[in-house]
Chains A and B, each alone.
Chain A
């Protein structure tokens, strides 16, 4: 019986070592996959700067609608201040066009109100509002990397 017992024990030990080594090589393989994915995730982005100047305050009198197509942002000005709304559709990234009633996306028919709220179509989020800052030389700069709450309008001296 003792021999039998020992055999069982040995079998269990061998089993344990086998399974452990399989587990370790499995984890190591996962590590390799992760490292490979990390390698193709770029560390450097060759993007255009997200921050750009849009002009001086007096260029944006009340009622201004300036569609900066190459910057993918529309700058508005009303009695509450100046504000910048992204023209990138939150659905699949097409460029929306400002209309009388708001924004219209040409690709899949999303519609937004004038302050970027979704009213129709598949868009999951409202259009982003971007930060505007006055530079030392008095010009205004929009930063599309910085999102501000909907309704954030800026008054500048």
Chain B
């Protein structure tokens, strides 16, 4: 008598009401309670957010000293920046008359405003460090090979986007840093004029002037420029980076997860961060891969899966990810609590600061720009990005993928390039600081020579020659790539240090800020 047909309508309603929580959860999660390996698998592929990850994860992926969680840290920093940015937008007003005031209000009047702004600033800046280190991890483990070439390209795109997001971010408060950053960036865009001037074609083909005007919406930074930068920072770039990040993660899955060494052996220590695969039960016997993908040829996820060394992603991977998130959030929160994001005086179009320095991560480029705007601001950075993009296509060796520095020779080449890079670059810098450059010796020298031959371009030329020589010497393109990448990293670090610590008023050399002249 108690079956559904004979129940009264109200009784049915009461039953539904009582089981509301369970039936809602079931419809929301699509699978029942997580009690078996089957449901642990189901939770991964039934969930929109989780299904970008595999049902099972290779143990190597979970080893903290393989990835250091750097890619995830970058993602979490981006999410933190998105969330905090929305709160800042509540008060920020993108007008030259109000931007500075509203940022001051956020700092000094809004409850929790300063902390929110600090979180936004530091998560964005930390992203640069995390993305950079992530790139180094991927490079030194050779993880751009075996079908992952294009994901490396996407990753370089994300590095560039991260830098531009930071750049447009510090242009918004309309303080001295914002204003003079706009002046300098727009004039770097204008710098192809140096070349068109030399050939006398500027009046017909002023690509520099066109770029500058497109960016500023005028000839000098003003309301139009602020509107454009605001648009870039809050709509265009975040939309683009969201889509590109999505593709970046999706391709990791399509490429069969993270790289791993071919001679992978489980270790006892693996048990400290992963539940060892259960030998009995579950839908995935350890001796067989299930999946239609097996029928397909090529580098599909299940091919060459090394299943015996995989563990279920739920809970192993998810707990690791949660831990990385909590650590990232905690570090940013504590740092933002104690360290305030800078805010300089209101923009003053008549008086640049002396020295007018960009934030630290661009000071290496500022050093290059101080040799030549066009070479240091456009040609060399473009060469750097193109060089990074080309690495996986010019080095197609697949041995030792997934092993840090490939092999002993790789460690040796890395060390060599680090030492030679540091000594060589410091030598070039010391020479130009002590003896000046062409113009100090021959004041009448043509501008074209200054643009083409300066400490920056000479050094980049040397890096290229050195990596070609390494390829010749070792017979391995991978070793050449290691030489190139290592020297590029060393160059970035040393130039950044030079620009940050060793340059003072009028961009003159000082050993430390304590020696700067007082006035």
Name which residue of chain B comes closest to A119, CB basis. Answer: B443
User: Is A121 interfacial (CB 8 A cutoff)?
Assistant: yes
Given contacts A91-B373, A93-B187, A109-B507, contact A124 B197 (CB under 8 A): yes
Interface of A is mostly: loop
How far, in Å, is A66 (CB) from chain B's closest CB? Answer: 14
CB neighbours (8 Å) of B180 from chain A are 94, 107
Report whether A122 and B214 are in contact in the complex, using a CB–CB cutoff of 8 Å. Answer: no
User: Is A41 interfacial (CB 8 A cutoff)?
Assistant: yes
User: Is B183 interfacial (CB 8 A cutoff)?
Assistant: yes
CB neighbours (8 Å) of A118 from chain B are 439, 443
Report whether B223 and A94 are in contact in the complex, using a CB–CB cutoff of 8 Å. Answer: no
Of B186, B356, B374, most buried by chain A (CB within 10 Å of CB) is B356
Given contacts A107-B356, A119-B443, contact A94 B183 (CB under 8 A): yes
CB neighbours (8 Å) of A69 from chain B are 350-351
Name which residue of chain A comes closest to B215, CB basis. Answer: A40
User: Is B255 interfacial (CB 8 A cutoff)?
Assistant: no
Name which residue of chain A comes closest to B194, CB basis. Answer: A124
Which of A40, A106, A120 sits near B439, CB closer than 8 Å? A120
Name which residue of chain B comes closest to A70, CB basis. Answer: B350
Report whether A122 and B187 are in contact in the complex, using a CB–CB cutoff of 8 Å. Answer: no
CB neighbours (8 Å) of A95 from chain B are 350-352
User: Is B213 interfacial (CB 8 A cutoff)?
Assistant: yes
Report whether B219 and A37 are in contact in the complex, using a CB–CB cutoff of 8 Å. Answer: no
User: Is B506 interfacial (CB 8 A cutoff)?
Assistant: yes
- Residues of B336-356 whose CB lies within 8 A of A: 349-356
User: Is B359 interfacial (CB 8 A cutoff)?
Assistant: no
- Residues of B198-225 whose CB lies within 8 A of A: 210, 213-214, 217-220, 222-224
Contact with A along B359-384 (1 / 0, CB 8 A): 00000001001111110110000000
Report whether B214 and A40 are in contact in the complex, using a CB–CB cutoff of 8 Å. Answer: yes
How far, in Å, is A129 (CB) from chain B's closest CB? Answer: 16
CB neighbours (8 Å) of B370 from chain A are 108-109, 121-122
A43 to B92, CA, bound (A): 28
CB neighbours (8 Å) of B218 from chain A are 42, 45-47
Report whether A92 and B372 are in contact in the complex, using a CB–CB cutoff of 8 Å. Answer: no
Residues of B in contact (CB 8 Å), total 49
Chain A interface: which size bin? Answer: 20 to 34
Given contacts A40-B214, A122-B450, A125-B197, contact A93 B186 (CB under 8 A): yes
How far, in Å, is B220 (CB) from chain A's closest CB? Answer: 6
A69 to B187, CA, bound (A): 20
CB neighbours (8 Å) of A107 from chain B are 180, 184, 352, 355-356, 507
Report whether B350 and A94 are in contact in the complex, using a CB–CB cutoff of 8 Å. Answer: no
User: Is B188 interfacial (CB 8 A cutoff)?
Assistant: yes
Report whether B214 and A37 are in contact in the complex, using a CB–CB cutoff of 8 Å. Answer: yes
User: Is A105 interfacial (CB 8 A cutoff)?
Assistant: yes
Contact with B along A3-46 (1 / 0, CB 8 A): 00000000000000000000000000000000001001110011
Of B376, B447, B451, most buried by chain A (CB within 10 Å of CB) is B447
A124 to B450, CA, bound (A): 8
Given contacts A45-B219, A94-B184, A122-B370, contact A109 B508 (CB under 8 A): yes
CB neighbours (8 Å) of B454 from chain A are 122
Interface of B is mostly: helix
Report whether A41 and B183 are in contact in the complex, using a CB–CB cutoff of 8 Å. Answer: no
Contact with B along A108-123 (1 / 0, CB 8 A): 1100000001111110
Report whether A124 and B184 are in contact in the complex, using a CB–CB cutoff of 8 Å. Answer: no
Report whether B354 and A106 are in contact in the complex, using a CB–CB cutoff of 8 Å. Answer: yes
Report whether B352 and A41 are in contact in the complex, using a CB–CB cutoff of 8 Å. Answer: no
User: Is B440 interfacial (CB 8 A cutoff)?
Assistant: yes
Name which residue of chain B comes closest to A106, CB basis. Answer: B354
Report whether B450 and A94 are in contact in the complex, using a CB–CB cutoff of 8 Å. Answer: no
A106 to B197, CA, bound (A): 24
Which of A47, A106, A121 sits near B352, CB closer than 8 Å? A106
User: Is A77 interfacial (CB 8 A cutoff)?
Assistant: no
Report whether A119 and B352 are in contact in the complex, using a CB–CB cutoff of 8 Å. Answer: no
Report whether A41 and B439 are in contact in the complex, using a CB–CB cutoff of 8 Å. Answer: no
Report whether A47 and B220 are in contact in the complex, using a CB–CB cutoff of 8 Å. Answer: yes
How far, in Å, is A121 (CB) from chain B's closest CB? Answer: 7
User: Is B436 interfacial (CB 8 A cutoff)?
Assistant: yes
Name which residue of chain A comes closest to B182, CB basis. Answer: A93
User: Is A104 interfacial (CB 8 A cutoff)?
Assistant: yes
- Residues of B117-152 whose CB lies within 8 A of A: none
How far, in Å, is A145 (CB) from chain B's closest CB? Answer: 10
Report whether A124 and B352 are in contact in the complex, using a CB–CB cutoff of 8 Å. Answer: no
Given contacts A72-B350, A91-B373, A120-B440, contact A46 B222 (CB under 8 A): yes
A47 to B220, CA, bound (A): 8
A104 to B354, CA, bound (A): 11
A46 to B369, CA, bound (A): 29
Name which residue of chain B comes closest to A124, CB basis. Answer: B194
Report whether B373 and A92 are in contact in the complex, using a CB–CB cutoff of 8 Å. Answer: yes
User: Is B301 interfacial (CB 8 A cutoff)?
Assistant: no
CB neighbours (8 Å) of B193 from chain A are 124
A69 to B350, CA, bound (A): 6
A104 to B450, CA, bound (A): 19
- Residues of B373-424 whose CB lies within 8 A of A: 373-374, 376-377
User: Is B85 interfacial (CB 8 A cutoff)?
Assistant: no
CB neighbours (8 Å) of A37 from chain B are 214
Which of A41, A105, A108 sits near B210, CB closer than 8 Å? A41
- Residues of B462-519 whose CB lies within 8 A of A: 505-508
Can you report 25 residue pairs joining A to B where beta carbons are below 8 Å apart? A37-B214, A40-B217, A41-B210, A46-B223, A47-B222, A70-B349, A91-B187, A92-B187, A92-B188, A92-B191, A92-B373, A93-B186, A94-B180, A106-B353, A106-B505, A106-B506, A107-B180, A108-B366, A108-B370, A109-B506, A109-B508, A122-B369, A124-B193, A124-B372, A124-B373
A residues near B, CB below 8 A?
A: 37, 40-42, 45-47, 69-70, 72, 91-95, 104-109, 117-122, 124-125
Known interface pairs A107-B184, A124-B197, A124-B451; 17 further A-B residue pairs with C-beta atoms within 8 A, sorted by A's residue number: A41-B214, A42-B217, A45-B219, A46-B218, A46-B224, A47-B222, A91-B187, A91-B373, A92-B183, A92-B373, A94-B180, A105-B506, A106-B352, A106-B353, A108-B366, A119-B439, A125-B447
4 nearest A-B pairs in the assembled complex, by CB-CB distance: A106-B354, A109-B507, A108-B370, A92-B187
